[in-house]
Structure 1
Amino acid sequence: MTRIIGLISGTSVDGIDAALVDVLGSQTDLKVELVAGKTFPYPANLRSQILSVCSGEALSMAELAQLDDAIARQFASAALTIQAKYDTKAELIGSHGQTVYHRPPKTGEKYLQDGLMGYSLQLGRGSLIAELTGITTVSNFRSADIAAGGQGAPLVPIVDACLLAEPNHSLCIQNLGGIGNVAYLPPQENRENHNESEISALGDGILGWDTGPANSLLDLAVQHFSGGTLTIDVGGEWAASGTPCQALVADWLAQEFFRLPPPKSTGRELFGADYFDRCLVEASAYNLSPADVLATLTELTVASIVGSYQTFLPAMPDRVLLCGGGSHNLYLKRRLQSQLHPVQVLTTSEAGLSVDFKEAIAFAVLAAWRVRGIPGNLPQVTGARVPVLLGEINSCWHSWA
């Protein structure tokens, strides 16, 4: 058993999700126990700066270095705090960091020569986290997959398969962060017969991709219509009081991203402030109330998810398990259940894996695989040419002095 801390701040930039977990086994025998989980909000000024950078605000190199260090210090503080009251301390940290820029690769055999590789930047450098905590830290998980021609995302489906796959049912694990992503898990029978080194066998039939916006546009709308006094629509109650404009949803679904086949990934670079501003302009032609706009943006999330399942899955799943902050949006969940009927829509918590800390748990697992020399990506999900080791190992003087 290894005690590991998983850390991540997603595209919603709500704060740092920290999971203190005990990890047993490797892949087909993987088991995790969540010892503690907590979200640590960013200081308001730091969150504001991160969101500005995600929206394309220019930074000098000195300002970028300062932001990188400020985020790393927040991540290190979260790691130290989450384990403070426990006698058994973590041996390893897996830190995803804070994504501030994501550019998917363009497909084609000459992507290297033509400079069409993807690029993804996560701030909160692992070397500083390791020094501040005295704990070896694995970070920068996406770069190796991107170097192998992949999207660098999503990386969690293989962990989902190890922890959530069922022998008799196909599942879609739908993460609802700022950006939505799905992992499709076919029934996994006889997993105990898989050799640990056979990641391709374990990954048979698993699919995954980013589905589009989840909370990113909704949060921007809430902030806009509340004059900055609110950041989220708790439970989706505001949206539930409105009526979605289906004609507007149909127009928005014509966006090229929704038609692209997987592998595919996206971020605030596409579904961010500029996109929201265009949505507002287009909504004005329909004289929608704020509640109607929220309901319509919710419907866009629902329609993009359902449409991607119908278009890109070999068959509709038996069950959908929601996770991430959007899983608490009861209106969104009801709309998904309505559009996916008769497919059952549940949450990962109902399957034994926390909806709020599943992603942090996944990066704890990926860190464990990195130090054990186990590849962590699935080429059919990310588009990489081969499975690769994910993450850079950052040790500190505490570990060898």
Structure 2
Amino acid sequence: MPDYYIGLMSGTSLDGADGVLVDFSGEKLRVLAAATESFDGVFRAELLALNSPTHNELHRAAVAANHIAAAYARVVDALLGQAAAQGIAAPQVRAIGAHGQTVRHQPQRTSDEPAGAGYTLQLNNPALLAELTGIDVVADFRSRDVAAGGQGAPLVPAFHQGVFGSQDATVCVLNLGGISNLSVLPHEASSLVLGFDCGPGNALMDAWCQQHTGQPYDAGGAWAASGKLLPELLASLLDEPYFSQPIPKSTGRDLFSLEWLASKLEPFAAAQPEDVQNTLTEFTASACVDSVTRYGKESASLIVCGGGAFNAHLLARLQVGLPHVRVSTSDAHGLPPLQVEAAAFAWLAQQMVLRRPGNVPSVTGAQGLRVLGAVYPA
């Protein structure tokens, strides 16, 4: 019997909402439909502003959450249009997994706070989304893991294990969104799945490209490839305590913000913009290479997904840094790069509906397995 779920994801790249319709009834999941809605420049700027304290932010965050729910609903409509052509009707979809838009991520506890006092905040209005679509919505996936003492991120390694894991060899999966995160999938059943945020993915590269070229991202990494590396700047970027922290760990724009980048660039005011772009790309690659080398050294394969999978220059730098690892995109393994995270949240929605755990304590550091998310009935 078919087992249909929709997954919706809008990541830290702030570029838009991706959605997939998935059938989980077979031995392997099947993506039956995919759709994307880009965020316009004005809305991207508003989401970026909401990553930091700003004027009237409670009202602006609520309005942005409604905007995201409406964009999600349009993606769902597009998916259902494709589904109808396959004889699948909306009432057959069991639930929508809607991640929301992360604007703050501070799961760490401090000594003067009660246990579980960290938080993570995703803008979303799942009640509105349920109203607009007529389908049950599962949302707020990260908070329960944080309440259990975890990082609340990354949540995709369990999904990665099911889709990309192998009994023959250890596999690493690198998601290059605004922030990069790595899953280490051991082939031995007795070994723990690992996962954590490596550091910036596309966020700083995209911001610099937008500022200096007017383009939202460096297509194919061509602009970065035209520049040269600034070794002193690279060393300064990598001189960030986050990189030496032990896992489990997670990060976001709270740390790797435009303000953080500006402080690093102060001594390099005379640098050519393309040289900075080259160095920012090398920065992302270096942080990811170090993560694989440190925690996935037994892996012979690195599968790359997310928007950064289309940055040919970045992939080339990853391959140079990992000469004994085969770097490929998730396309080569049956799931296009922009569908992986959305499919993961369809899977997390299914886990919630079935009351099964969605987190991996060895990844997030939570006190144990937890059922993640809250249900908003249609």
Q: TM-score, normalised by structure 1?
A: 0.88
> Tell me, what secondary structure is at the counterpart of 2:81?
coil
Task: Find the partner of 2:197 among 195, 210, 229.
Answer: 210
- What pairs with 1:86-105 in structure 2 (closer than 5 Å)? 86-87=83-84, 88=88, 89=90, 90-105=93-108
Q: Aligned equivalents of 1:332 and 1:206: distance in 2?
A: 26
Residue 294 of structure 1 corresponds to which residue in structure 2? 277
Identity within the alignment, %: 39
Residues 62, 162 of structure 1: alpha-carbon distance in 2 compared, 3 angstrom cutoff: same
Q: Aligned equivalents of 1:374 and 1:112: distance in 2?
A: 30
Q: Aligned equivalents of 1:23 and 1:382: distance in 2?
A: 25
Residue 307 of structure 1 corresponds to which residue in structure 2? 290
2:374 is matched by which residue type in structure 1? E
2:182 is matched by which residue type in structure 1? V
Structure 1: 5+ residue runs without aligned partners? Answer: 190-200, 397-401
1:392 counterpart = 2:362: no
Question: 1:172 deviation in Å?
Answer: 0.8
Question: 1:111 deviation in Å?
Answer: 7.8
Task: Find the partner of 1:241 among 226, 234, 244.
Answer: 226
1:70 counterpart = 2:71: no
Residue 175 of structure 1 corresponds to which residue in structure 2? 175
Question: 1:217 deviation in Å?
Answer: 0.4
Residue 45 of structure 2 corresponds to which residue in structure 1? 48
Q: Aligned equivalents of 2:342 and 2:122: distance in 1?
A: 15
2:163 is matched by which residue type in structure 1? L
RMSD: 1.8
Q: Aligned equivalents of 2:40 and 2:317: distance in 1?
A: 34
Q: Aligned equivalents of 1:336 and 1:60: distance in 2?
A: 38
Q: Which moved more, 1:55-64 or 1:288-297?
A: 55-64
Q: Aligned equivalents of 1:82 and 1:44: distance in 2?
A: 24
> Tell me, what secondary structure is at the counterpart of 1:268?
coil
2:375 is matched by which residue type in structure 1? I
> Tell me, what secondary structure is at the counterpart of 1:334?
helix
Task: Find the partner of 2:316 among 316, 334, 350.
Answer: 334
1:138 counterpart = 2:138: yes
Q: Aligned equivalents of 1:258 and 1:58: distance in 2?
A: 32
Partner deviation per Cα, 1:226-258 (whole Å, 9 max, x = no partner): 2xx211000000000111122321222110101
Question: 1:56 deviation in Å?
Answer: 3.2
Q: Which runs of 4+ in 1 moved over 4 A?
A: none
Q: Aligned equivalents of 1:294 and 1:18: distance in 2?
A: 30
Q: Aligned equivalents of 1:289 and 1:329: distance in 2?
A: 21
- What pairs with 1:8-157 in structure 2 (closer than 5 Å)? 8-24=9-25, 29=27, 31-87=28-84, 88=88, 89=90, 90-106=93-109, 113=114, 117-157=117-157
2:199 is matched by which residue type in structure 1? G
Residue pair 1:165, 1:188 contacting (<8 A) in 2 also: no
Residue 276 of structure 1 corresponds to which residue in structure 2? 261
Residue 330 of structure 2 corresponds to which residue in structure 1? 348
Residue pair 1:176, 1:214 contacting (<8 A) in 2 also: yes
Residue pair 1:220, 1:276 contacting (<8 A) in 2 also: no
Structure 2: 5+ residue runs without aligned partners? Answer: none
Residue pair 1:73, 1:124 contacting (<8 A) in 2 also: no
> Tell me, what secondary structure is at the counterpart of 1:145?
helix
Q: Aligned equivalents of 2:37 and 2:324: distance in 1?
A: 37
Residue 344 of structure 2 corresponds to which residue in structure 1? 362
Residue pair 1:111, 1:117 contacting (<8 A) in 2 also: no
